[in-house]
Amino acid sequence: MSGDIKLSDHSPALRRVERRLHRRGLLRGGLSLGGLTLLTGCNLSDGDTVDRLLWAMSRFNDKVQSWLFDPDQLAPTFAEKDITTPFPFNAFYSEDSTPEIDGDTWKLEVSGLVDDRTPWTLSRLRSLPQESQITRHICIEGWSAIGQWSGVPFRTFLQRIGADTRARYVGFRCADRYYSSIDMATALHPQTILALDYGKDPLPAEYGFPLKLRVPTKLGFKNPKHIAALFVTNDYPGGWWEDQGYNWFSGS
106 touching Mo ion, by CB under 5 A: no
Q: In 3-state terms, what secondary structure has residue 182?
A: strand
Compare residues 160 and 208 and give the one whose CB is closer to ligand MTE.
208
CA 111, distance to chain mean position in Å, is: 21
Compare residues 106 and 221 and give the one whose CB is closer to Mo ion.
221
217 touching ligand MTE, by CB under 6 A: no
* Binding residues for Mo ion restricted to 220-239, rule: CB under 5 A: 220-221
C-alpha–C-alpha distance, residues 207 and 203, integer Å: 6
C-alpha–C-alpha distance, residues 177 and 249, integer Å: 21
160: CB partners within 8 A, 6+ apart: 116, 128
Q: In 3-state terms, what secondary structure has residue 46?
A: coil
Compare residues 137 and 160 and give the one whose CB is closer to ligand MTE.
137
Q: What is the DSSP letter of 196?
A: E
- Exactly one of 75, 225, 237, 250 binds ligand MTE (CB under 6 A); that residue is 225
Q: In 3-state terms, what secondary structure has residue 229?
A: strand
C-alpha–C-alpha distance, residues 126 and 44, integer Å: 44
238 touching ligand MTE, by CB under 6 A: no
215 touching Mo ion, by CB under 5 A: no
C-alpha–C-alpha distance, residues 229 and 205, integer Å: 17
- Exactly one of 112, 220, 237, 239 binds ligand MTE (CB under 6 A); that residue is 220
Q: Which secondary-structure segment (H or E) carries 122?
A: helix 122-126
Which residue type does 164 have? Answer: D
Q: Which region among 31-39, 41-49, 106-114, 219-227 touches ligand MTE (by CB under 6 A)?
A: 219-227
106 touching ligand MTE, by CB under 6 A: no
Size of the site for ligand MTE (CB under 6 A): 18
x/- map, 123-152, Mo ion, by CB under 5 A: ----------------x-------------
C-alpha–C-alpha distance, residues 189 and 191, integer Å: 6
* Binding residues for ligand MTE restricted to 54-93, rule: CB under 6 A: 87-92
Min CB(225)–Mo ion separation in Å? 11
- Exactly one of 18, 176, 197, 242 binds ligand MTE (CB under 6 A); that residue is 176
- Binding region for ligand MTE (CB under 6 A): 87-92, 139, 174, 176, 178, 206-207, 220-221, 223-226
